[in-house]
């Protein structure tokens, strides 16, 4: 990949991601039988995960997109989150599955899950591809988790570094 040759190490390869996404899809399919499911794809980081995950869920569902911006305080999210692009439909009475790329401090998801609850959905579950438990500041329940990762900055499969590398088909770590 241009500009980062030699600095990029594969952490989770494409085959391992595909296998885990398939398992999560089967788990979600079994758990949400008979429900009126709305999948919320949190932009931009979860687009690839969400696109693959929905194809492994054998249920009638709709897909909504939600854009979030977390304000950074140095290198870390400050917990101040803004919705940059909101859902196009109400979720009242719906069974919502939020699809996120990574739960790091937990501040972003805490904000979003509290915000969604005010819209009176029937249920809200969280699917996150990655979790960095070493960085937890607020505990967030991840109902469907792909992988746990160490305290490293990961890129690829939707996750960016300065808006780039989202198109890598695997999850990698940039070494300094
Ligand atoms: P939190 O509010 O949980 O600290 O942060 C969540 C957001 O921070 C994620 O949705 C993601 O956009 C960003 N983030 C946290 N850790 C990483 C990482 O290792 N790599 C990338 N690319 N983004 C991260």
* DSSP single-letter state for residue 34: T
- The pLDDT, as a whole number, for residue 74 is 58
User: Could you give the CA distance from residue 96 to residue 130 in angstroms, rounded to a whole number?
Assistant: 19
DSSP state of 165: -
User: Cis peptide before 44, with omega less than 30 degrees from 0?
Assistant: yes
Is 104 an annotated catalytic residue?
yes
H-assigned helices in the chain: 14-31, 47-54, 107-117
Query: pLDDT above 70 covers what percent of the chain?
Result: 95
Is residue 1 scored above 80 in pLDDT? no
Nearest CA to ligand 1 atom 4: 105
Calculate how far, in angstroms, residue 104's C-alpha sits from the geometric centre of ligand 1. 6
Percent of the chain with pLDDT over 90: 86
* CA nearest ligand 1 atom 5, residue: 104
Task: Look at ligand 1, atom 9, and give the residue with the nearest C-alpha.
Answer: 102
Model pLDDT, residue 153: 93
Q: Which of 8-17, 48-57, 66-75, 140-149 has the lowest mean pLDDT?
A: 66-75
Q: Would you put residue 22 in left (φ > 0), alpha (ψ -120 to 50) or beta?
A: alpha
Whether pLDDT at 88 is above 90:
yes
Structure-token pair, residue 8: 């990029």
Which of 101, 113, 158, 161 to probe ligand 1 with, by most ligand atoms within 8 A of CB?
101
The answer, as to whether pTM is greater than 0.85, is yes
CA of 88 to the centre of ligand 1 (A): 25
Please state whether beta strands 171-174 and 8-12 pair in parallel, antiparallel, or not at all (unpaired).
Answer: antiparallel
Chain segment 34-74, per-residue pLDDT in tens: 998 999 999 999 999 999 999 999 999 999 999 998 877 65
Distance from the first to the final alpha carbon of the chain: 16
Which residue of 8, 9, 102 sits with most ligand 1 atoms within 8 Å of its CB, as the best mutation to test the pocket? 102
- The Cα diameter of the chain in Å comes to 50
Residue 6 has pLDDT above 80, yes or no: no
140 Cβ contact list (under 8 Å, min separation 6): 103, 106, 109, 110, 113, 126
Point out the ligand 1 atom lying closest to the alpha carbon of residue 153: 19
Q: Catalytic residue among 52, 104, 150, 160, which?
A: 104
**Residue 76's pLDDT band (cuts 50, 70, 90):** low
> Which residues 6+ apart lie within 8 Å of 69 measured at CB?
81, 82, 84
Which architecture characterizes domain 14-154 according to CATH?
3-Layer(aba) Sandwich (3.40)
Nearest to 81 by CA among 50, 62, 106: 106
**pLDDT value of position 36:** 87
- How far lies 30's CA from each of 24, 56, 60, 123, 141, in Å? 10, 12, 13, 16, 19
């Amino acid at each position: 990949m241009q500009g980062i040759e030699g600095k990029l190490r594969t952490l989770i390869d494409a085959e391992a991601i595909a296998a885990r996404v398939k398992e999560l899809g089967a788990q979600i399919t079994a758990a949400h039988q008979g429900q009126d499911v709305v999948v919320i794809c949190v932009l931009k980081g979860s687009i690839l995960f969400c696109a693959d995950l929905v194809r492994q869920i054998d249920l009638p569902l709709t897909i909504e997109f939600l854009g979030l911006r977390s304000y950074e305080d140095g290198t870390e999210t400050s917990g101040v989150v803004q919705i940059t692009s909101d859902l196009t439909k109400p979720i009242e009475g719906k069974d919502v599955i939020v699809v996120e790329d990574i739960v790091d401090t937990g501040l972003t998801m805490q904000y979003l899950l509290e915000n969604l609850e005010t819209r009176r959905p029937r249920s809200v579950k969280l699917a996150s591809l990655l979790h960095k438990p070493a960085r937890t500041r607020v505990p967030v329940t991840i109902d469907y988790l792909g992988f746990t990762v160490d305290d490293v900055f990961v890129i690829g499969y939707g996750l960016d570094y300065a808006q780039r590398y989202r198109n890598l088909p695997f999850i990698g770590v940039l070494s300094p």
